[in-house]
Structure 1
Amino acid sequence: MSAARRSSALRRGHVCGALLLGLLAGCAPAPPEPPSRVALTFPVDLSDPAALTRTADDLFVGRVTARRGQSDRGIGIESQYDVRVEHTLKGSLTGVIVVNQQGGLDADGRAVDLPEGDELLHVGERYRFATRYSTRWGFHTVIPVHGDIRL
């Protein structure tokens, strides 16, 4: 085979390879979408430990033992967890309680309605919790972002 023919065959091979790669790239799964985030504002600076302590009904260290599920009360998805209280810092909680957190998972398993800077709780992990109690719903809602610090 002459040098000219070899060069021509090589170019066709490169073009075919490039076309094949282009087709395969179009079949690749799309990168996962980032979680949908909710921007929140508060009347106090909850990054200040004193303000967080004043705002919380209860401060405690606990371990997430189970994810109960999620619900939508009209303000976005919220997730409920069983948490075993290990040490109380403010309030008088003991035993296993239900902790509610803003945010949850959509049908594809992606986090949705999460406050900016927060992440969903993880079963088996320990956290320092700052919560507000809802007598209407019977659970302790985590103060977003600063109320669930993983230990």
Structure 2
Amino acid sequence: MHHKKGRWLALIAVLLVLCGVGGWFGYRRYSLGVISDKQIIKNINSHLLKNNPTSKQTKSYAKIVKSTTRTLDNAYVKVNPYGTSPLTALMIFKTDQAAKVTYTVVGKTDNTSITNTVKGYKTTHQVPIVGLYANYSNQV
């Protein structure tokens, strides 16, 4: 009889530990505010776009790239070229020889400059510039 009582107590202790661990994980999940993908989409009122709102601008810039005679000294520059990112620019120009383009947006303080290299060697360049400062005369 004494052994049966000990087994029951051990079983109850194991169940209590399992319930405690499960409760702790459940508490952590909900206390951290984890929500499902479906709830996130509902919360941000997201919807699928079936057309590309930037395709008109992309075609326009492709025409400029194709027909440009501008050089680095008088490059075509458009700030916020797609109307969605005001701290970016698009720079279009040609070079006589194929070149790989690297640019730096000079930061306001030490170690805040942003340098980017565009892939490939080309003579016609369409360079996306990122890291511009708002309300500031940026040096690129």
TM > 0.5: no
TM-score normalised per structure 1: 0.31
- Which structure: greater strand fraction? 1
Which of 1 and 2 has greater Rg?
2
| Larger relative contact order (CA 8 Å, sep ≥ 6) | 1
